[in-house]
Amino acid sequence: MSKAVTPSVSELVADATRAKEKSKAEFSGFRVGAAIETAGGKVYSAFNIESSSYGLSMCAERIAIWSAVNSGETRFKRVAIVSDAKDFCTPCGACRQVLFELAGDIEVYLTNGLGEMRNYRLSSLLPEAFTSKTLLNGRD
Ligand code: THU
């Protein structure tokens, strides 16, 4: 899904929440929605999709960023991540890495099941990140 207006943070959270409602989390029951906003104000949202072969399940955040990149997007501003849990659903390590590499040091807004919000810079959730710069600088 994508939308072409510049959303407020609450609209971005609403997009992530709508995505969460469609979550395919039949094994864990842990529903997650993510909505990532491009520099131009477009929003790509996604939900987690689980597999009966559990390890093949995929987080909402990675589906959202991959969907945006697959549509040609290269510059990003912020991401909202929502779940039903009382605790905030901080992105898993794999999602932090993929988001940082593809979206850079964006703002991360988390909303829990009580409707409370927290926000971070992605770099504070992934300090000293390994990036392509490190990889390419290591070559002769
Ligand atoms: N999950 C996400 O979608 N995002 C996260 O940041 C953490 C975990 C999903 C993966 C799995 O479908 C379920 O939540 C339980 O781990």
User: What pLDDT is recorded for position 2?
Assistant: 55
pLDDT score of 1 more than 60? no
* Domain CATH for 89: 3.40.140.10
Query: What domain range is 15 assigned to?
Result: 9-137
The residue nearest atom 9 of ligand 1, judged by CA position, is 59
Average pLDDT over residues 87-109: 98
Q: Does residue 70 fall inside a structural domain?
A: yes
Is residue 2 situated within a structural domain?
no
For the CA atoms of 133, 137, 138, 139, the dihedral, rounded to the nearest 10 degrees, stands at 120
- What's the average model confidence in pLDDT over 15-22? 98
Q: Which of 51, 56, 92, 109 to mutate to test the pocket of ligand 1 (most atoms within 8 A of CB)?
A: 92
From atom 3 of ligand 1, which residue's Cα is the shortest distance away?
A: 59
Helices marked H in 39-112: 60-70, 93-103
What is the pLDDT at residue 70? 98
Whether residue 4 lies inside any domain: the answer is no
Q: Extract the tokens encoding 86.
A: 């009382």
Say yes or no to pLDDT of 61 above 70.
yes
Please report the pLDDT score of residue 129 as a whole number: 94
Q: For residue 124, give every residue at least 6 positions away whose Cβ sits within 8 Å of its Cβ, in sequence order, or none.
A: none
Instruction: List the end-to-end C-alpha distance of the chain, in Å, as a whole number.
Output: 42
| Catalytic residue chosen out of the listed positions 11, 61, 73, 107 | 61
Which of 15-24, 94-103, 128-137 is least confident? 128-137
Give the per-residue pLDDT at 20.
98
Residues with CB under 6 A from ligand 1: 25, 28, 30, 32, 48, 50, 57, 59-61, 89, 91-92, 95
pTM of the full structure: 0.94
